[in-house]
Amino acid sequence: MERNSKELTVKGKVIDGQSPAICLPLIGTNEEELIRELKTIVAQEPDLIEWRGDFFEKLDEEAKVMDALLKIKDLAGEIPILFTIRSVTEGGEPIPLNEEAKVHLLTRLIETGKIELVDYELHNESRYIEHLREVTRSHDVKLMVSYHNFEQTPPLESLFEKGEQAEQYEADLVKFAVMPDDMKDVLVVLEATHSLDSYLRIPVVAISMGGNGSISRMFGWRFGSMITFAVGHQSSAPGQIPLEDLRTVVGIIKKSL
Ligand SMILES: O=C1C[C@@](O)(C(=O)O)C[C@@H](O)[C@@H]1O
């Protein structure tokens, strides 16, 4: 198999692009819902679990967040946790924290040693991104710098620039998830994935959302996208497909290689 010599080791697990790492999102609004979701999710043995913190209704009560994290970690066992607070401007839920408080919470979570990856959006002020880069590095947590657009697919050059910016921040990986108008936009994402995969030193995660884009979730890894998000319990974005279906498709592709 020719592609992708990049590797990312998370909690002793190597993500190397020879198969996509499959990530299942957790979107519970409280501890009880999170635990219920987790039981379904863990049974499916994903490679990663993403806790979408923006769905958690008590995000402004640090003790409650910490408590939920301990429970999640306990149930997730060896499966690495990606922690994400998606902003409303990039398709997330409204949260009761301003950016300063959000960065403070992310810092506290990173310091617990209970999360393995953290997502932070590229549009944020550079002082925040740089701060999180420092904290993640000193706690051996991977920093994923991300960009989302639920309205459209920016041109190839713009996606390329985002990849370059993430690399300048010394992110461990760059991710973008964008909405296509048509299949040409899906091709833009696949092309950006392929080019960025060869051009950047850091790994890329690239998603074209919605029904048209869902092929990027199934085949994107062959173009260089290292992680794909699927449905374990409930979806967190349009176009995600059930983990079992994804595994079937990946298995078929691997057989033909
Ligand atoms: O950024 C991403 C990717 C995603 O938006 C998707 O399209 O699968 C799902 C989100 O939960 C995650 O944070």
Boundaries of every domain in the chain: 15-251
| Amino acid occupying residue 97 | L
The torsion angles phi and psi of 239, rounded to 5 degrees, stand at 95, -5
Average confidence (pLDDT) over 165-178: 98
Please give the pLDDT value at position 13: 85
What residues contact residue 192 under an 8 Å CB cut-off, 6+ apart?
Answer: 156, 159, 160, 163, 176, 206
pLDDT tens for each residue of 204-228? 999 999 999 999 999 999 999 999 9
Given a cut of 50, whether residue 72 has pLDDT beyond it is yes
Please give the pLDDT value at position 1: 47
Given a cut of 70, whether residue 3 has pLDDT beyond it is no
The fold of the 15-251 domain, in CATH, is TIM Barrel (3.20.20)
Given a cut of 50, whether residue 175 has pLDDT beyond it is yes
Average confidence (pLDDT) over 228-232: 97
- Which residue has better confidence, 76 or 7? 76
In the residue annotation, 131 being an active-site residue is answered as no
Average confidence (pLDDT) over 149-160: 98
Please give the pLDDT value at position 14: 87
Angle between helices 62-76 and 31-43 (to 10 degrees): 20
* Atom from ligand 1 closest to the CA of residue 86: 13
Which H or E element spans position 9? strand 8-10
CA–CA gap between residue 110 and residue 37 (Å, rounded):
23
Q: Coil, helix or strand for 67? A: helix
Please give the pLDDT value at position 6: 86
- Report the residue among 27, 82, 86 best suited for mutation to probe ligand 1: largest number of ligand atoms under 8 A from its CB: 86
Please give the pLDDT value at position 7: 87
Confidence of residue 12 (pLDDT cuts 50, 70, 90): confident
| Amino acid occupying residue 255 | K
Query: Percent of the chain scored above 70 by pLDDT?
Result: 98
Q: Which range among 7-21, 33-47, 136-150, 230-244 shows the weakest confidence by mean pLDDT?
A: 7-21
Two tokens at 48?
């990663």
Distance 255 CA to ligand 1 centre (A): 28
- Nearest protein Cα to ligand 1, atom 2: 177
Average confidence (pLDDT) over 88-98: 98
Binding residues for 3-dehydroquinate: 50-52, 86, 217, 236, 240
Given a cut of 60, whether residue 70 has pLDDT beyond it is yes
For ligand 1, say whether the CB of 116 is within 6 Å of any of its atoms. Answer: no
- Nearest protein Cα to ligand 1, atom 1: 177
> What is this structure's pTM?
0.96
Mean residue pLDDT across the chain: 96
